[in-house]
Amino acid sequence: MTFNRSQNVVRRLTTSGEANIVYNGITDWVYEEEVFRSATAVWFSPDGQYLAFATFNDTVVKDMAYFHYGTPGSLEDQYPTEVKIKYPKAGTPNPVVSLSVIDLFDPLSKAVILKAPINEVTRQVIFVITTDNVLYVVSWWNKTHVIATWTNRVQNQSQMTMYSIQGDAKLVLSDEETEGWLQPNRPIRTRDYILLLRREPSGTSAGRFRHINRYEYKDGQFIMPLDLTPGPSEVHTILAADSPRGKVYYLATAPGEPSQRNLYSVPLDGSQKPTCISCKLLTPEGNRCTYATASFSRQRSYYALTCSGPDPITVTINDNNHQPVLTWNTNKLVRILLSRRLMPQQRNFNITVNGYDCKVRLLLPPDFDESKSYPLMLFVYAGPNTVRIIDEARYGYEHYLTTNRSIVHASIDVRGSAFKGSNMLFEIYRKLGTVEIEDTIAVTEILQKQYSWIDANRTGIWGWSYGGFTTGMVMIQDTNSVFKCGISIAPVSSWIYYDSIYTERFMGLPTPEDNLDGYNRTDISRRSEGMRGKKYMLIHGTEDDNVHYQQALALAKSLEHNDILFEQVTYTDEAHSLENVAPHLYHTMDKFWGECFGWGRDH
């Protein structure tokens, strides 16, 4: 709906909406979670006259049901309330998505559907986007044209299409990833060029990295790509293009430093190599800033530079000559409070296993003594295209464990991790629960053997969500008893239960013709025998709409039917974050670690 303030008139733009079935301009569950990362799906033209919006029809999407139990002892909650959400699981029907545009200035105008490039074949495109597609990116090219990127269901082929407001369509760019999955992103338009992130050869054995590709637009096509950021570093995101000054600003890792995120600029004409802007910045503690971001003014004359690592956040305002104009925030109070706290020591290094360098970060107790023996704790995630080790200043449970429990804490980035090149990244493709698990066990075993101060008999592992899945898979595949105990929080136990867009991106389809065997091999509940004799805790909330409580129940049922002892904690009416029961959660975990590591009463 729109509201004309001067005329005090409300105009209804769509009539097809249906509660929990058809969504106009807002995302359904899976698109909000896995594609747009936003509850809205509307895009205004530069002058505000036109509105592009997506429609999600969930008629064929199956329901996922769970119960809300309510207030204990309340008569109003004598009977649990059944809650249903449209949730497409791997291999089941996806929402049907469409894209439309409407004139907001003309009260008589009707929405024009911008049709997906279904079954279109051209000389340049040897694959087609079928009706079972995913709408990934929408942006305005100018006042009268919209660009949209569509992918096939498993997200390894894409077509970028330009639409007029009348609905005329023209394919401007196609892409295919033969080794893994695509990461469609919004094209950035400058005065003369178009900028996109694509994987390009790095000239190293690491394979391809995401770089800024500069295109020219001619005869309705993006042509003559030029890699503006070559080499073994990964571009996180394009922040701003400064056409008058001929520059583009972006965030990227440093070569060989995947944990860093620096601010760079590079000439749009490709005449010079990239320049790191944030690399020379020093924190108040005198350390070089290695984790930064920036926000630019509309004319690119000024920008706010935020340094958030390795020390607490500082924000400075700079001009386009990169000279500081104003120190906006130094978080002085935070720094004072932290100076009164004991902090762990930190060590960073690589360990080579299975042909790849896995980055390792250890946090050691403040009074660390190599002549003593310490328990080792791993907090894992290990999901595809993610990293655990970054240079951003973060203070969490691991700091409590190292400073209050005298534990050595380890983080490891294994195969499947981001920012280290396509070879290491795509090792995990179509085989979740394999290579990342092998590396986690192998690196931990090397740490135990390499450092005498790590107690191999007191090593634990825990993780949340994908990390809970990793923990469970590690426990069942750990045949050498590298780990003594583990906690899975809200874990995936079988990928057939998780949402389609995420799962199929990395695993393909759970069909005999595609990758059903891969799904079965990575199903923890099918391999529960490997948990026998191990100390394991399973934690989940009953109202988790992301990783459903069904996942925990399936694993628990398998363990119980095989007479395998384990511990289980259920949080009633709690969602994926378990935010309302945090004290109980961490006290429960603390007790579990105490039993595993043999903490005495003095702890």
Catalytic residues: 465, 544, 576
The 3-state secondary structure of 531-556, one letter per residue: HCCCEEEEEEECCCCCCCHHHHHHHH
Distance CA 483, CA 178 (A): 36
Distance CA 50, CA 44 (A): 6
Cα–Cα nearest to 177, from 153, 198, 150: 198
Cα–Cα nearest to 436, from 370, 353, 510, 365: 353
Task: Identify each DSSP E strand in 437-549 by its residue range.
Answer: 454-464, 485-489, 535-541
Classify residue 224 as left (phi > 0), alpha (psi -120 to 50) or beta: left
Residue 430 phi, psi (nearest 5): 65, 15
Distance CA 166, CA 373 (A): 72
Residue carrying the six token digits 């791997």: 90
Distance CA 87, CA 66 (A): 12
Q: Is 547 exposed, middle or buried (0-12, 13-18, 19+ CB in 10 A)?
A: buried
The partner residues of 198 in beta bridges, in order of sequence, read 211
Q: Answer for the pair 390, 335: CB distance below 8 angstroms, yes or no.
A: no
Q: Note the maximum CA span of the chain.
A: 81
The partner residues of 63 in beta bridges, in order of sequence, read 86
Cα–Cα nearest to 263, from 281, 278, 282, 246: 278
